[in-house]
Chains A and B, each alone.
Chain A
Amino acid sequence: MIGAELLRVEGLTKHYGARIGCADVSFDLREGEVLAIVGESGSGKSTLLNCLSAQLEPSAGTITYLRGDGAALDVYGMSEPARRMLQRTDWAFVYQDARDGLRMSVSAGGNIGERMMAVGNRHYGAIRAEASGWLERVEIGTDRIDDRPSAFSGGMRQRLQIARALATKPRLVFMDEPTGGLDVSVQARLLDMIRALVGQYNLAVILVTHDLAVARLLSHRMMVMTKGHVVEQGLTDQVLDDPQHAYTQQLVSSILQT
């Protein structure tokens, strides 16, 4: 269910020298709300996601995170350690390539446990039990808890990455093409799982995708980007079914089916 405001973004801009990464992006996000950022490669959507998730300092603009206790935090105004703490506790990031979000030389259970330990969990038995619960939730057999992700298929790795990201119960999750590069049937399973988990834990999600069908199935709202600018935003089905901007119309009409 969509709740209170959680993120406020104002005038976010990133220049690479004279080149525009993203320009003057503003929006609000609420608890439980899934926002898709769509556009072709080079549209600036990944730059924007990196700025939003405090991994790439913007050239201008502010991001305010409204913590559960009511505190309003200026994401780029806080100290580096405080920002890292926020990324480990309230936030999580799911990468397109699971290898970027997992430690490939550590067991599946260890990957989940590690993130829990980073937020202060110390009891080995409790961590292992929790890791085991998360493996079940993402449909990985608990008999695989001691296997390394390097022995997993692409779809399993991605599910493990999601388990690792959600184990600390974040409020806000950033996802960069989470189903990209997977077989269609594996994609369907992952979409179903992401949607169920997002609903169950009432997560706010900012999702970057070039796949409009993924945006339609997962998101409540979407923003369309081209050449670093947001050209249209609104309710997902409205943007897809009644696109207003020339670029969105072209994008929607050039896909086979959504």
Chain B
Amino acid sequence: MTIRIKVEAVAKEFTLHAQGGVRLPVMSDASMEARGGECTALIGESGAGKSTLMRMIYGNYRTQAGRILIEHQGRSVDMASAEPHEVLEVRRLTLGYVTQFLRVIPRVPTLDVVAEPLLAVGTDIEAARERARALLTRLRVREALWPLSPLTFSGGEQQRVNIARGFAHEYPCLLLDEPTASLDAVNKETVVTMIEEAKARGVAVIGIFHDASVRERICEHQIDVTRFAPQSGAAA
């Protein structure tokens, strides 16, 4: 299958101004790629930079060097140098991201939170809500909760709302940061099946999964991000 995400020699460092401008290099010369229909797991100890790399791919963190190319509407967009409106276009149509955190406007009902990415790509409101209902049902979010804001839900319920939202529009590329972390066995199985279905549709998936059995079941590739750590002594 075709390469949909290509990370080329990227570097990342944080400058901590509150600590006298100390520079903290966290990644250098990191390269990887993700193909349609395949799932790549980012592995490494906590703090090794898995989420950092994922946030760079999404354009949420800045990149100091290198390119992050996403196949978007028949062309390559470099997320590391794209203008804000281009990054937002890639996120709207091509690149989905399921995080462990739910960030929504208070008061917006769960059903609309899930339907929103579909409305953003022009789906009509009834079809979008129908799809949202199907996803929430599949992920066992009780119907009584749909008219309520998810901000008051339990951690596991919020995570399932987040997953439903991330899968509402069928993005060609998906970033999943611990999508099964706070789920019980039954819901975890559902999410794993949903990822398998996405792969079957040709989606390129990059994921962080703390559960080794999940990785072994769905991931064709595993990349240990520890190898992207800058060589010791680089900190100044």
A interface list, Cβ under 8 A from B: 1-2, 30, 33, 188-189, 191-192, 195, 216-217, 220-221, 234-235, 237-238, 241-242, 244-246, 249-250, 253
Contact = CB atoms under 8 A, between A and B. Distances in A.
A42 B216 CA distance: 56
A220 B84 contact: yes
Given A192-B107, A195-B105, A250 B18 contact: yes
Contacts of A192: 105-108
A195 B120 CA distance: 13
Contact of A217 (B14, B60, B62, B105): B105
B15 interface: yes
Given A188-B107, A189-B107, A192-B106, A246 B17 contact: yes
B147 to A, nearest CB: 14
Nearest to B21: A246
B88 interface: yes
A220 B88 contact: yes
A197 B89 CA distance: 20
Given A246-B17, A249-B17, A216 B62 contact: no
A80 B59 CA distance: 43
Given A191-B105, A244-B15, A238 B85 contact: no
Contacts of A235: 59, 84, 87-88
Given A30-B85, A249-B17, A250-B18, A244 B105 contact: no
B106 A238 contact: no
Interface string B65-100: 000000000000000000011011100100000000
A242 B120 CA distance: 25
Nearest to A249: B17
Which DSSP category, helix, strand, loop or mixed, fits chain A's interface? Answer: helix
B188 interface: no
Given A188-B107, A192-B105, A192-B106, A33 B17 contact: no
A244 to B, nearest CB: 7
B59 A249 contact: no
Nearest to A234: B84
Contact of B61 (A30, A217, A242): A242
B60 A238 contact: yes
A217 B107 CA distance: 12
A176 B193 CA distance: 47
Given A192-B107, A242-B62, 9 more contacts: A33-B85, A189-B107, A192-B108, A195-B105, A238-B62, A241-B55, A242-B61, A249-B16, A250-B18
B201 interface: no
B84 A221 contact: yes
Nearest to A193: B107
Nearest to A241: B60
Nearest to A246: B17
A2 B82 CA distance: 15
Nearest to B62: A242
Given A192-B108, A235-B84, A253 B60 contact: no
Given A238-B59, A241-B55, A2 B88 contact: yes
Contacts of B108: 192
A244 B92 CA distance: 25
Nearest to A30: B85
Query: Nearest 7 pairs between A and B by C-beta?
Result: A246-B17, A188-B106, A235-B84, A242-B61, A2-B85, A192-B107, A188-B107
A188 B149 CA distance: 11
B103 interface: yes
Q: Which of A192, A217, A253 has the most CB of B within 10 A?
A: A192
B212 to A, nearest CB: 29
A191 B149 CA distance: 14
B133 to A, nearest CB: 20
A209 B159 CA distance: 30
A221 B86 CA distance: 12
